[in-house]
Amino acid sequence: MLGKHSLVYFLFKSFPAILTLVGLSVFTRLLSPGEYGVYSLTIIVVGFLNTVFLQWVALGVGRYLPECSDDQARARLLGTARAISFLVSLVIIFVTFLLWEWREEIGFSILYYMVGFLCLAQAWHDLNLKIQNAILQPLTYGKMLLIKGAGSFFIGVLLVYFGFGVDGLLLGTLVSLVLATIFFQDAWRGVSWALVDKEQLTRLFAYGAPLTLTFLFAFIVNASDRFFIGAFLGDAAVGVYSVSYDLAQYSVGTVASVVHLAAFPLVMEKLSKSGLPQTQDQLRKTFIFIFAVVSPAACGLAMVAPEISGSIMGEEFREGALKIIPLISLSAFLGALKSFYFDYSFQLASATRVQVVTVAVSAVVDVVFNLILIPEFGIVGAAVSSVMAFSSAILISIFLGRRVFPMPALPGKDAMKIALSVLLMAVSVASFSLESAFFGLVVKVVLGGGVYLAAMIALDVSGMRTFLKSKLIR
């Protein structure tokens, strides 16, 4: 079941991720680093507002929708979630329009008039995605991602090409978010627009509010570096750093989220229906799976940094990106393991308040190191700060997580086999080079992937060789 669902999510998430990577290549040639910096800061502000004021609704729906025993309970939950999401979004739209009028006095390089509408569209999109994930509908989930990814890319490229700049790129994102949800409204049949159930609202807030604080601190870790870079180094440096950070998120982050989307509902199902031993067994499978996909992705990204910067990015972005891609890859690896495995302990135990401690400490670490390192070392200092923050976060998550939920012992034997496979992959990639950055990238990806897969089979990671033999014999 885990492998099947992961494959479905991968097929649908890989296409938008590929389009995003292609978009990075196009936009870093059509936009200057300063313009891309303004775009990145605007998206970050949208993400911040969504995290603080809206994400708790979708998180609560994802937690409680599977428990709804009848259509009436489902309608009360979804009706409350939709009404609250739209009301909060309207307030954000009003406030950001006021800020747009005072933009010159504020002096912050974002497009205020777009922020509120993007928050509304993002919140509605996230809520619909969470519903499809909660009811185990990966196909519908994937279709929504495809429409959003394709729309954002093609509309954004078209508008930027015809001279609309950052405004056009953000408008493309807004339109694509709306289009992605229009065609998938079956879940809302029979749900009133005017319904706000006090009991459901209390449940949503009680579950989501602590997680909101958690995601807020996580947001600080993921995004505060760009605010500090903007303050110390300017919008152009934000643009260079953001491209590298986005690259890691849409490569390492995508494969990690694919496993999470498939794994977490199955873990929750085991906990509610089968008991602790079966849940721990499912968790062991989840760790092997996520470690097996995230470690080669992060290592591979670091190994092909010269080829990526030389072939995908515009000339103004290349030098800075080459310096920080390996560090950003490492922080993405650490963040994926923390968020998509070790943090499960807090959610399984409904101890989300304890989880706040892990991200709060990492947020403080990130801010302190940013203040110290960015003025001295520029964007490299920001990348080092990110690694330090995620390192502290994963250690605290492991330490506290085992005190709230009996997580299983890590499958050390299989983990060592995976690490050895990654090492063999890295050696093979490092020993090969071509003058052409693009063809070098293609060859290294194929070569590294082939060596890694062959090593995994030869070492029989998690019974892979035995499984393949049984299929071939059959």
Across the 474 residues of the chain, what is the mean pLDDT of every consecutive 10-residue run? 57 68 85 89 89 85 79 82 89 86 66 87 91 79 86 92 91 93 79 78 81 78 87 90 85 84 83 85 91 95 91 87 93 93 89 83 94 95 95 94 91 94 95 84 93 93 76 60
Question: What does the block give as tokens for 108?
Answer: 């912050």
CA–CA separation, 276 and 279 (whole Å): 5
Cα separation, 125 vs 371, in Å, equals: 35
Domain of 452 in residue numbering reads as: 413-474
Q: Where are the alpha helices (DSSP H) in 338-436?
A: 344-348, 352-377, 379-404, 412-430
- 132 in the same domain as 196: yes
Please give the pLDDT value at position 156: 92
If asked whether residues 344 and 421 sit together in one domain, one would say no
Q: Do residues 186 and 273 share a domain?
A: yes
- CA atoms of 166 and 275, how far apart (whole Å): 51
For tokens 């807020």, what's the residue?
Answer: 216
Together in a domain, 6 and 142: yes
Same domain, yes or no: 380 and 333? yes
Question: Measured between alpha carbons, how far is 100 from 106 in angstroms, rounded to an integer?
Answer: 9
Contacts of the segment 273-276: beta carbons below 8 A, 24+ positions apart = 276/406
Distance CA(109)–CA(41), nearest Å, equals: 7
Structure tokens at 81: 């979630």
Question: How far is it, in rounded angstroms, from Cα 379 to Cα 328?
Answer: 11
- Rg over alpha carbons for the chain, rounded to the nearest Å, is 22
pTM score of the predicted model: 0.79
| Rounded Cα gap, residues 61 and 57, in angstroms | 6
Closest CA to 37 of 2, 307, 104, 45: 45
Residues in CB range of 107: below 8 A, 6 or more apart = none
Residues 6+ apart with CB under 8 A from 226: 40, 41, 44, 238, 241, 242, 245, 382
Report the alpha-carbon distance of residue 294 to residue 317 in Å, rounded: 26
Same domain, 474 and 353: no
Of 375, 410, 445, which residue is a domain's last?
410
Give CA–CA dist 420/452, Å, rounded.
Answer: 9
Pair (166, 309) in one structural domain = yes
| 311 and 438 Cβ atoms separated by less than 8 Å | yes
Closest Cα to residue 211, out of 89, 339, 333? Answer: 339
Say whether both 290 and 424 belong to one domain. Answer: no
**Domain boundary residue among 410, 437, 462?**
410
Provide CB contacts within 8 A for 372, sequence distance 6+: 381
- DSSP single-letter state for residue 435: S
How many folded domains does the chain comprise?
Answer: 2
Structure tokens given for 173: 């994102």
| CB neighbourhood size of 79 (10 A) | 20
State the pLDDT at residue 14: 67
On whether both 167 and 274 belong to a single domain, the answer is yes
C-alpha span between 113 and 315 (Å, rounded):
31
Assess whether 437 and 344 both reside in one domain. Answer: no
Are 438 and 364 within one domain?
no
Domain end, chosen from 378, 410, 442, is at: 410
Say how far apart CA 122 and CA 126 lie, in whole Å: 6
Residues 259, 295, single domain; the answer is yes
